[in-house]
Amino acid sequence: MRFTTKAEYGLAAIADIALQHEQGKKAVTSEIARRQNISQKYLEQILLQLRRSNLIHAAKGKNGGYSLSQAASSITITEVLNALDSSILADSSELDSEDGIRMNLKFCLWDKINRNMREYMDSLTLAELLAQCDEFESRGVYAI
């Protein structure tokens, strides 16, 4: 499994939007970019993908900005990652059928790690991720 910059930034952006959403606010692109240290132009591309996947809504105008399209407790990390790059949680390419199943590292190790990671990401919601980050932050380990 490999995390792309787009996936990393996208997770940070949707987490930022979720935090604003919890406070009853909409998240503005320029502020997300500043808080997350992401190029605004690149962030706009990411937000477009999250909108197309119906994970966030956009509102225009004076009180415009981004908000979650549903509760953070019903958005899984798998949904977010797949909206940004569906290859992240995919298994390695198919094995050559002429050779049968070749026992190699790709099959025995990496695909198994990917399956376990996929199961974890399927079970982890955005709300749970934010709660874990809050716990780390309260111990001085990590901050969003």
* pLDDT computed for residue 93 by the predictor: 54
CATH number at residue 65: 1.10.10.10
* Distance of alpha carbon 118 from alpha carbon 134, whole angstroms: 23
Within-domain flag for 144 = no
* pLDDT computed for residue 108 by the predictor: 72
Q: What is the DSSP string of 60-106?
A: -STT-EEEESS-GGG-BHHHHHHHH-TTTTPPPPPPPGGG-----HI
For the purposes of burial, counting CB atoms within 10 Å of the CB of 83, is it exposed (0-12), middle (13-18) or buried (19 or more)? buried
Alpha carbon separation from 6 to 48, 50, 140 (Å, rounded) = 12, 11, 26
Within-domain flag for 107 = yes
Within-domain flag for 143 = no
Q: How many domains does the chain have?
A: 1
Alpha carbon separation from 79 to 1, 31, 144 (Å, rounded) = 16, 24, 20
Q: Is the pTM of this model over 0.75?
A: yes
Task: Please give the residue range of the domain that contains residue 70.
Answer: 5-138
Within-domain flag for 75 = yes
Within-domain flag for 114 = yes
pLDDT tens, position by position, for the chain (144 residues)?
Answer: 567 899 999 999 999 999 999 999 999 999 999 999 999 999 999 999 999 999 999 999 888 999 999 999 999 999 999 999 877 666 555 444 445 455 566 667 777 888 888 899 999 999 999 998 887 777 765 554
